[in-house]
Amino acid sequence: MTDDDLVFKALADPTRRFLLDRLFVRDGRTLTELESELEMTRFGVMKHLRVLEDAGLVVCRRSGREKLHFLNPVPIRLIHDRWIDKYTERQVSALADLKNELEKTG
Amino acid sequence: MTTMTDAVTTQMYRVYIKATPEAVWTAITDPEWTQKYGYGGRGEYDLRPGGAYVGYTSPQMREHGAPDIAIDGEVIESDPPHKLVQTWRMLMDEDMAAEGFTRLTYEIVEISGATRLTITHELEGAPQLAELLSGGWEDRGAGGGWAWVLSSLKTLLETGEGFTH
């Protein structure tokens, strides 16, 4: 399976999308926190998190005894940049435009 | 010691790149390389603890009236080509500058012929910067934050082509 296949497979499941949504709202959660919001066994949630990790959509970090789960948007970004930006080429003048925008509205 | 608050405000980004750890390290720390991807400015490091980091704006940003320096900071730990820890402060917007220094860690690990780059950005007390770095300002022309930067870094190292800004 290619990296993209892993991402699409991981996203093709409502529980896994729910987990990503929870991490989007608040990042760096433990398994216990994530599990508490799902009607599912701890083992079941672990399996889903494992699929998300394998696809690179979740990255873990140890903090003392805790394992914290973070949403990693890069794999989706890679798909976006390759498949979508190709068709919507546009100028990104980065922070300079942000500054101008703020000065206009500020 | 990481507290719950740190976990909530920390952002992590990871990408696998078909390149050597040395190439990834160079792309992050060599100003000739930093201008080829992401926001496209030169990044100058004095790679020793306490050494200065200056992230310059790109020529294109300056054409739009941006100041010379976009980011400043200080090197905390430099272990080429494995780990770089630094402070990082965005200067291009007054409110973000006022949020002060954040802590940024680059970790580079070789895994089965590819290189895994992980960015951990600790953003406690910097909610506006956090929004910018997570891509929340992209539709206002401020770039897509770290995910966008890493995507363009991967493209540059794997294909030799950076993004055109």
Quick: pLDDT tens for B81-106.
Answer: 999 999 999 999 999 999 999 999 99
Question: Could you give the percent of chain B with pLDDT greater than 70?
Answer: 93
Mean pLDDT by 10 residues, chain A (106 residues): 89 97 93 93 96 96 92 92 61 55 65
Q: B94 to chain A, minimum CA–CA distance in Å?
A: 9
In terms of pLDDT, which residue wins out, A94 or B111?
B111
Q: How many CB atoms lie within 10 A of CB A43?
A: 8
Binary contact (B93, A77; C-beta < 8 A): no
Residues in chain A, overall count: 106
pLDDT given for residue B112 in this prediction: 87
Number of neighbours of residue B83 by Cβ within 10 angstroms: 15
Distance CA B52, CA A20 (A): 37
Tokens of residue A42, six digits: 């701890």
Touching check for A106 and chain B: CB below 8 Å? no
* ipTM score: 0.82
Nearest CA in chain A to B9: A27
Residues of B in contact with A97 (CB under 8 A): 64, 140-142
A86 in contact with chain B, both atoms CB, cutoff 8 A: no
Residue B110 has pLDDT above 90, yes or no: yes
Q: How far is B155 from chain A (nearest CA, A)?
A: 9
Enumerate the residues of chain A whose CB falls inside 8 A of the CB of residue B61.
93-96
DSSP count for chain A of H helices, then E strands:
6, 2
Which B residues in the span 112-151 are in contact with A, Cβ-Cβ below 8 Å? 118, 120, 132, 134-135, 137-138, 140-144, 146-148, 150-151
Q: Say yes or no to pLDDT of B3 above 60.
A: no
pLDDT per position as a tens digit, B136-161 = 887 777 788 999 999 999 999 998 87
Note the pTM of the prediction, 2 decimals. 0.85
Pairing verdict, β B114-122 and B10-17: antiparallel
| B62-67 CB contacts, 8 Å cutoff, 24+ apart | B62/A96, B63/A96, B64/A93, B64/A96, B64/A97, B64/A99, B64/A100, B65/A96, B65/A99, B65/A100, B66/A95, B66/A96, B66/A99, B66/B92, B67/B91, B67/B92
